[in-house]
Structure 1
Amino acid sequence: MAAELGQQTVEFSALVRRSAEDSYLALKQLVERSRAPEDQRSDSEKKIDLLKFIAKTRQRILRLHVLAKRCQQVPLIQYCQQLAATLSSYDTCFTQTADSLFYMHEGLQHARAPIFDVPSAIEILLLGGYKQLPKCIEDLVIQSTLSEDEQKPTLKKLDTILRSKLLEVVLPKEIREIDQRL
């Protein structure tokens, strides 16, 4: 088993071997102590020590049995850990993407250019009218013409207003760089 997420792992066979060795050494010490000539303990005390050893060994084997059952679920646990890691990386990616989109949105607000209806403006300049205007609106417009004396000041005033508006508005790069050869 590989160490994941900072967890140290031990082979199950090493646990079984170490547990068996510890039990064997404990039993060997118990037998040597009970055979020793200087042992003054009664027979019932020796039986109690043997019973304690059996209980301790039984508990150790029971723990190994529980570990053996859990080891069968290791592939499922590893799969769940992989899924959790994948979801965590997706969460990080989604967060970074949302942040990037937010900052990009803020940046695009400054780069946004007004939308000019260039084809309609060209049609009005060349033809002097707008053909797509509905007839009902055209009928409502009062056709009044200005006299020669009124046209010059009106055109001058209109020219001044247009120039001031053009100075206030930031034109897009495409409109600012007009080819003079036309």
Structure 2
Amino acid sequence: MIATLVACAAAGWLAERFAVPAGWLTGSFFLSSLLNGTGFVELTIPDVAVAPAYIGLGAMIGTRFGGASLRLFVSALWASVGAFAVGISVSAAFSALIASLTDIPFGQALLAYAPGGLEAMTLLAFLLGLDPAYVATHQLVRYMVMVFALPVAVRLVLGRDWRAPRAD
């Protein structure tokens, strides 16, 4: 576990150094996925270590909402509901197509293509008796595409200085 932790820290550092979005997280995530997915390492982190990591991650994400108003939350809620409706509709349509062309169950395809967290979708697949490896693999690929393609798409649409405040 210590060797994997050191290797993942190094991968995170390298990803950060090469300006990969969320480099510390992404580099560690990809290396750990590679090591565990290939069977080179079979590691399960004990809950005593996972719980504090989740607490820290949740606290860190929560600080991003500092200074946000209720009005902002409400407007974001409606945008989120709309984005979810579009995302789940597209996922359902493609899942129906995949299910009709292959012997993959519709529910399994839907969990694989639906927007959501990797661990949540994989757990749902396991609980529903569907193939969790299929679902996890597709969710992981979706995540990788978002991490690497989305920054490029944002720069193409909004320009190179998209983070700079606009002087309207």
Range of TM-score over shorter length: under 0.3
Select the structure with the greater relative contact order (CA < 8 A; seq sep ≥ 6): 1
TM-score (norm 1): 0.19
